[in-house]
Amino acid sequence: MKEKFIRFMQGRYGVDELSKFTMGAAFVCVLLAIFAGRSNVGALLDTLGLAAIIYTYFRIFSRNIQKRYEENQWFLAKTAKLRLRFQKEKSLMAERRTNHIYTCPGCGQKIRIPKGKGKIEIDCPKCHTKFVKRS
């Protein structure tokens, strides 16, 4: 069965970032439709969710790889700033385990100081303002 599916998927586009996003959006629409009940809003959300699922499967099973690639590149270009912002926040959260991140009162530069050093005087590497903080 697995081999049949692998043979079936040969020459098809498969899953990419846009497909993951549309499937997630479809899932959210269907969940909201369940909570909205049998109202017009629920029916609209249910229809949108179903349309997004159909579009996602169309993209996954498509043989027009060039067109799907261009669509994905367009999506990645439009969401680049947002994805970069989330990536920066994620790295800052990981950094906060071992370091304090202070902002210089003079220039706004972010300065990384190791935790557990007590009360220290910090010299900003950009504007050389000195300020005291606890690490």
Give per-residue pLDDT as tens, 25-63: 999 999 999 998 888 998 999 999 999 999 999 999 999
Q: Which of 43, 76, 56, 73 is nearest to 14 (CA)?
A: 56
Domain total of the chain = 2
CB 135 within 8 A of CB 116: yes
Element (H, E) at 99: strand 99-103
Residues 104 and 67 in one domain: no
Same domain flag for 125 and 73: no
Q: What letters, b where the CB count within 10 A reaches 16 and e where it falls short, cover 3-23?
A: eeeeeeeeeebeebebbeebb
Q: Which segments in the chain show pLDDT lower than 50?
A: none
The answer to whether 135 and 113 have CB atoms below 8 angstroms apart is yes
Question: In terms of residue numbers, what domain contains 128?
Answer: 95-134
Asked, for residue 57, whether it belongs to a domain, the answer is yes
- Looking at the domain assignment, is residue 58 inside a domain? yes
Distances (CA, A) of 62 to 8, 38, 48, 70, 106: 11, 34, 21, 13, 55
- Residue at 46 is within a domain: yes
pLDDT for res 61: 92
Does residue 89 lie in a domain region?
Answer: no
> 109 and 74 in one domain?
no
Domain membership flag for residue 20: yes
pLDDT score at 92: 86
Cβ proximity of 109 and 124 under 8 Å: yes
Q: Do residues 11 and 71 both lie within one domain?
A: yes
Model pLDDT, residue 22: 97
